[in-house]
Amino acid sequence: MTETDMQALKRAALDHLWMPSRDWVKTEAEGGPQIAVKAEGIRFTDSDGKTWIDIRGGYSSVNVGYGRTEIVEAAHEQMLRLLYYLQTSTTEVLVRLLEKLAEISPGSLERTWPTTGGSEANETAIKIAKSYHKRTGEAGRYRIIGRRGSYHGATQGVMWLGGSSSVSDFQPPYPGIVHAPHPKPYRCEMGGTTPSECAVRCAQAVEDLILFHGAKTVAAVIAEPVSSSVGCAVPGDEYWPMLRQICDRHGVILIADEVVTGFGRTGKMFGLDHWGVAPDIMTMSKGISSSYLPIGGAIVSREIADRFGTDDDHFRQALTFGGHPVAAAAALKNIEIIESEGLVQNAADTGAYFKERLTGLMDHHRMIGDVRGIGMMLAVELVSDRDTKEYFPKELGLGKKLTEKFRRESLLLETDGRIIGFNPPLCTTRSDVDEIVGVVDMAMTEAESELSMSG
């Protein structure tokens, strides 16, 4: 493609593409949008011929890395064999995928409702929870407890579960959603001074909400094992077992949103494997196919699924592209790669090394208040004062300064000046980590000098 052709393509993008979280006026002023043309491993090349490290792994979703021709070939072969399926039928490849999901999922999770992505998966999980209660004679259970700051998708129902200010354009709020605190040890909303104390208090806050509203009105609790939207805060070990016990005590369905944490991201196949807890419903997407094709699902426990087994009680939902055989073929091959190449263990081992290297930066950079996370899901929190944990004033433009320095060194990484998140592909190596941390170190050194913080 010639330079003239590429400029015409960028012009067309500016005229017709509505990008997420991007202002097209500012994008044009900055010479964008950036157009990716090829990628391999953890790196991609843009239309200007510059190669970048994708530290976010797409949307925390390209788990096996870019350029895996095995996945492409599996999808291609399936497309040649059977492109779609007849209504009320299924395909061999989808059945094989769902069988695999039942094998690797915790507890008695065994029946999956296929979707095309994480938002649909979470919408489906909530609908299943409400439908289940209706079928057991408790139609009054309509409330869903989410956690402040969580992210469960962008569709009209689930977007309200985290209580974010970003939903203000879409009032009125979805009915029946209430919010519990997030177990964030560094900034515990409940005043806990240790991870354990914060975990116990935040779990108890969930039970307090159930009791306050009345258990007979609460259908489900939905939570991410570790949430990237709040800076990869890992809860104290007490949190998830307590949450499981609380839900059991009050007949509330526990939904684990593993859309980000699933398929090795945290150094276990699923995030809840760290605590030995099995949810009633688990949602998945992103890493299930490493984003090679859109696919997701809500996998449900045997006890809940069996309540929908007759004609009169079937779950009333249909998704045109849910369980698409070509996407299923890509997902099945993707999981095979994750297992055969030991990428879950690599996420654990290299992730621990990554966290150690980032923690080491605290000795040299006073702006780092906290380093946290697990596996290939890490974050650095920036503060102007470690004692008070105050953030830098927005007018200093720290986020913009650091982002520009990262980009100058070909690191595709952005920060708002408060959190720097790292969610690279699970195939990231120690040498990749050294390169990434070297850029972060350099950028912070320059920023501190500019802010007169050096020394």
Ordered by start, the domain boundaries in the chain are: 34-64+342-450, 69-340
143 is written with which tokens? Answer: 């409330």
304 is written with which tokens? Answer: 């809940």
For residues 155 and 153, give the distance between their C-alpha atoms in angstroms, rounded to a whole number. 6
Strands (E), 60-207: 109-115, 143-147, 177-180
* CATH code that applies to domain 69-340: 3.40.640.10
pTM, two decimals, is: 0.95
Burial 164-175 (b: 16+ CB within 10 A, else e): eeebeeeeeeee
Which residues touch 317 (CB under 8 Å, ≥6 apart)?
Answer: 113, 124, 127
Q: Which architecture characterizes domain 34-64+342-450 according to CATH?
A: Alpha-Beta Complex (3.90)
The packing angle between helices 398-408 and 430-450, to 10°, is: 130
Q: Give the Cβ contact number of residue 445 at 10 Å.
A: 16
Phi, then psi, of 362 in degrees rounded to 5: -65, -25
Q: What number of residues does the chain have?
A: 455
Longest CA pairwise span in the chain (Å): 71
For residues 265 and 350, give the distance between their C-alpha atoms in angstroms, rounded to a whole number. 11
User: Which DSSP letter does residue 82 get?
Assistant: -
**DSSP per-residue letters across 169-207:** GGPSPPTTEEEE----GGG-TT--SSHHHHHHHHHHHHH
Which residues touch 131 (CB under 8 Å, ≥6 apart)?
Answer: 308, 315, 316
pLDDT tens string, the chain, 455 residues long: the values are 787 888 888 889 888 888 877 777 888 887 778 889 999 999 999 988 999 999 999 999 999 999 999 999 999 999 999 999 988 899 999 999 999 999 999 999 999 999 999 999 999 999 999 999 999 999 999 999 999 999 999 998 999 999 776 777 888 888 999 999 999 999 999 999 999 999 999 999 999 999 999 999 999 999 999 999 999 999 999 999 999 999 999 999 999 999 999 999 999 999 999 999 999 999 999 999 999 999 999 999 999 999 997 767 888 898 999 999 999 999 999 999 999 999 999 999 999 999 999 999 999 999 999 999 999 999 999 999 999 999 999 999 999 999 999 999 999 999 999 999 999 999 999 999 999 999 999 999 999 999 875 44
Query: Which of helix, strand or coil describes residue 228?
Result: helix
Query: Which of helix, strand or coil describes residue 36?
Result: strand
Is the distance from CB of 206 to CB of 351 less than 8 angstroms? Answer: no
- Taking alpha carbons only, the member of 293, 295, 226 closest to residue 261 is 226
How remote is the C-alpha of 6 from its chain's centroid? 32
Which residues touch 445 (CB under 8 Å, ≥6 apart)?
Answer: 364, 365, 454
